Structure 1
Amino acid sequence: MRLASYNVENLFNRAKAMNLEGWAEGRPVLESFARLNQMLGEPIYTDQDKAQMVKLLTELGLSKSDKGPFVILRQNRGSLVKRPKAGGLEIVANGRTEWVGSLELIEAPVDLEAMRNTARVMIDLQADVLAVVEAESRPALRDFNTEIIGALGGPLYRHVMLIDGNDTRGIDVGLMTAEGYPIGQMRSHVDDVSANGEPIFSRDCAQFQIPLPSGKQKDKQLIVLVNHLKSKGFGSLAASAKKRLAQAERIKVIYQELVAQGEAYIAVVGDFNDTPDSAPLEPLLKGTELKDAFVHPAFDDGGYPGTFDTCKAANKIDYLLLSPALFATVTAGGVWRKGMWPGSKPKRWDVYPQLDKKENAGSDHAAVWVDLDL
């Protein structure tokens, strides 16, 4: 069996603000959007809240219209705002129950060749079980499988599943499996909460059960926990690290519960947004028996220790963490970078011929894989 994980950075559509060149442009938009969305959900809007909402709406380009360059304000019933003819912006609702509507990010299509390069990576991986990070929805994942992978002549994944998570930007985690590897029981952890009642997972820690079809492990199963931990890109670094730590601690508990239930083959995979030596990942990498596939003697990192952007050690953020019994079955592993922009001075790794400019990259992330003797 080949197990892999790949952050695809959306398949068909992506929030327009996330397509801006560099964090300097896109980050303020997404931060203002997240903050305003949080405030709009409050049952009561204080005068201080209203003043802050006006400020955020203005920053998002919504002072004169419900449609800005990156965000749409939908007021379906009742009104949140009033825009007097004399100018200005006023919050007229006194709480969430006084209006029905939403704040939504405007989406833009992913570059066509980038889309195809994403598919080429997924085809060349030849994974039997592929964890996918940052996919829009199950229909998008399903259609990408049939319309893009299929159009390029690749073998289609037989089973495709994605459970909608906590993120409003359409960057969820899912699983695709080949013929002979049906997806069994599934469990979402979107409702796992911390002591203050806030959701622990920014997206989800989606739990998938894969029955092992034949051979010496017949009647056993593989459990895959697919994750996308809190990024460093939004909010303070300290707050982001605290969130990732809480997420890692919760995953540790989930893993230990599975072990206590007698599960031997467990993989915790995905984009963890931090390095192996970081404090937030200590609960997983030092507090459990999980082993990073990268340290297996049969694993080939291709000459670069990282998985994101320039693939330096500081960019090692994508993981295949394996339980001891699963780690013992590894026969090979590696990092697939042909869909990543390699830089130009110098060119760091070989890429697809169709990847001739940075915008055509399938993702900023490499795919990681292992072969398991199961």
Structure 2
Amino acid sequence: MKIATYNIQNLFHRDADLVKRDMGHNLAAWIQEFESLLQKRFPKSERELQRLEELSLLLGFQKTVYQPHLVMRRKAGKLYLRKKSSVAETEVASSITGWRGWIPLSSLPIKELSMAHKARTIREAQADVLLLHEVEDRHSLQEFDRLLAVEEEVDHTYAEHHVLEGNDPMGRHSGIMAKEGFEVLSLFTHCHARYGEGQLLFDFDFQEYGLKTPLGNKVWLLSAHFTADGKEREISDARRWEQAVHVAETYRAFRDGGYEYVAVMGSFNAPSFCNSLAPLLQETDLRDIGRHPSFVALPDKDVDSSYHRLGAYAKGVNLKQRDYLLLSPALWEKVQTCGMDRRGIWPEKRPQWPVFKSLKNQEQQASEHPLLWVDVEL
């Protein structure tokens, strides 16, 4: 049974505010690199000229304007829909349907190459069960599965598709896909869990999935998305610590209930040495696949391949750890091999690592997160 977890950062469209934030986060680095390349004497190498062209696009020199696919307008109390390339408008809602008000389209389409790299990362993983974070909805997940199946000339790659909406208002939810023979028996969400003075504990979600393998074994997968660092680091750390406590307590409840095969995974958004993750990483018997002897990942290039940075996944895999795949002792003993695929991540600075040949810049990357996988004999 091959299990994988992947924060895919949306499938087809992403909230415009998130896109702007991602671009703003890297703006200073792009400007600095662009100016540095400009100051180099001629003749510049072909790679330097190519990078200048990439940076000019990222910095908006071509004056690219994001255009929505659809425009919604209200006229005389009715809602009309017009395709961007069309002049004609179609009535889609009126007083009969009970619609009132204005509906803005606040998401931007994901680049075609970025989408292709997401699909390739998943297709090459060949996971029997795949848990995804930051998925728009179930329909999008089904459509994405059809893209995965195109090369195999079948209707679908996965037999089951489930998405449970959490607390995020920007269209980022958690989902699971399972291949034929792997049955999803139950789904449960902790989106209503609270802490402190009644605040919602998870700004995304924490979910439980019960599965049955083709041989009849029962496996429980606990999938969580923790709070990322905000402007006030202490508040983010405190929130993550509460989330880690809740997930650890849920895991212990499964173990006390006699369930041996349990995995905990997701984006925890902090390195393993961070105190906010201690309740989960240090106070339970869960073990990180990155510490397993069979863990494989394409190493960094050149001198970084022999180095082990603090908070990285492993020696020569110097990517700051934010995503985890943790196993109970019984599952750990069943591991055949495990690893990480980060070929869809664009390495903006050192360290550098091997990427897909078609990946040329950050806008084309599949996600900022790697795909983690484990193959267990059940």
Shift of 1:331: 1.1
1:10 equivalenced with 2:10 (yes/no)? yes
Gaps of 5+ in 1: 28-68, 70-99
Conserved? CA contact 1:13–1:110, under 8 Å: yes
- Aligned to 1:365, what secondary structure does the other structure show? coil
Q: CA RMSD in A?
A: 2.7
Please report how far the alpha carbon of residue 194 of structure 1 lies from its aligned counterpart in structure 2 after TM superposition. 1.2
Deviation at 1:364, TM superposition (A): 1.1
Q: Which residue of 2 aligns with 1:369?
A: 373
- Is structure 2 residue 355 aligned with structure 1 residue 356? no
Return 5+ residue gaps in structure 2 as ranges. 28-67, 69-99, 301-307
Quote the residue 1:291 is aligned against: 287
Specify the alignment match of 1:107 in structure 2: 107
Q: Secondary structure at the residue paired with 1:348? A: coil
Which residue is 2:221 aligned to? 224
CA gap of 1:238–1:303, structure 2 versus 1, over 3 A, is same
Change (3 A) 1:330 1:260: same
The total of aligned residue pairs comes to: 295
SS state at 1:368 partner: strand
1:46 equivalent in structure 2: none
Partner SS for 2:185 = coil
The alignment partner of 1:161 has SS state of strand
Deviation track 1:91-137 (CA, whole Å, cap 9, x = no partner) reads xxxxxxxxx98997810001111011100101000001111011111
Alignment of 1:170-319 (within 5 A): 170-214=171-215, 218=216, 220-232=217-229, 234-303=230-299, 306=312, 312=318, 315-319=320-324
Contact preservation (8 Å) 1:174, 1:206:
no
In 2, Cα distance between equivalents of 1:191 and 1:322: 25
Which amino acid is the alignment partner of residue 139 of structure 1? H
| Match in the other structure for 2:336 | 331
Kept in 1: contact 2:297–2:317 (CA 8 A)? no
Asked if the contact 2:163–2:173 (Cα under 8 Å) also holds between the matched residues in 1, the reply is: yes
Q: Is the 8 A contact 1:105 1:169 kept in 2?
A: no
C-alpha change, 1:192 and 1:279, in structure 2 (3 Å) is: same
Aligned CA distance change for structure 1 residues 332 and 325 (closer, same or farther; 3 Å): same
TM-score by length of 2: 0.72
The amino acid across from 1:355 in the alignment is L
Seen in structure 2, the aligned counterparts of structure 1 residues 246 and 23 have a Cα distance that, compared at 3 Å, is: farther
Aligned partner letter, 2:355: V
Residue by residue, what CA displacement relative to the aligned partner does 1:24-80 show, whole Å, maximum 9, x if unpaired?
4699xxxxxxxxxxxxxxxxxxxxxxxxxxxxxxxxxxxxxxxxx9xxxxxxxxxxx
CA contact (8 A) 1:302 1:334 kept: no
Alignment of 1:121 with 2:107, yes or no, is no
Q: Which amino acid aligns with 1:364?
A: E
Identity percentage of aligned residues: 30
Find the aligned partners of 1:139 and 1:242 in 2 and give their Cα distance. Answer: 35
TM-score w.r.t. the length of structure 1 is 0.73
Q: Name the CA distance, whole Å, in 2 between partners of 1:104 and 1:226.
A: 31
1:156 Cα offset (Å): 1.0
| Distance in 2, Cα, partners of 1:213 & 1:22 | 42
- Distance in 2 (CA, whole Å) between partners of 1:252 and 1:202 is 18
* Cα displacement string for residues 185-217 of structure 1 (whole angstroms, at most 9, x for unaligned residues): 111111111141111111111110111221xxx
Counterpart contact for 1:294–1:301, Cα < 8 Å? no
Runs of at least 4 residues off by over 6 Å: 100-105
> Quick one: structure 1 residues 180 and 311, their matched pair in 2 at CA, closer, same or farther if it must change by over 3 Å?
same
Match of residue 47 from structure 1: none
